[in-house]
Amino acid sequence: MSESQIILKDRKMLSVTGVKDVNAFTEENVVLTLEGCSLIIKGENLHVGKLDLECGEVALDGKVNSMQYIKESSDKSFIKRLLR
């Protein structure tokens, strides 16, 4: 199992490691696949500053309003509802 680390600075800069994939991305929502779960990031004016899936690293900037982990078994239905 790979570890993930989340660093949030002033709700403006977010760094996540242990990322396996980016499932969805808009300026309001980012959905990342981690080991055994997804991480839903909601905010405003979100932009990808760094994306290196080989190393499992993603860096975002913009205003982060919330983050939520979703178990793998319920990922697909939740993500479909989120992106409507």
Q: Please state, in angstroms and rounded to a whole number, the distance separating the CA atoms of residues 61 and 54.
A: 20
pLDDT at 3: 86
Q: Which CATH number fits domain 5-82: 3.30.70.100, 2.60.40.2000, 3.40.50.1820, 3.30.70.270?
A: 2.60.40.2000
Residue 60 has which token pair? 């975002």
Per residue in 35-65, pLDDT (tens digit) is 889 999 999 999 999 999 999 999 999 999 9
Q: Which residues contact 66 (CB under 8 A, 6 or more apart)?
A: 40, 41, 42, 43
Using CB atoms within 10 Å of the CB of residue 41, give its burial: 0 to 12 exposed, 13 to 18 middle, 19+ buried: buried
pLDDT at 74: 54
DSSP secondary-structure letter at 14? E
pTM: 0.82
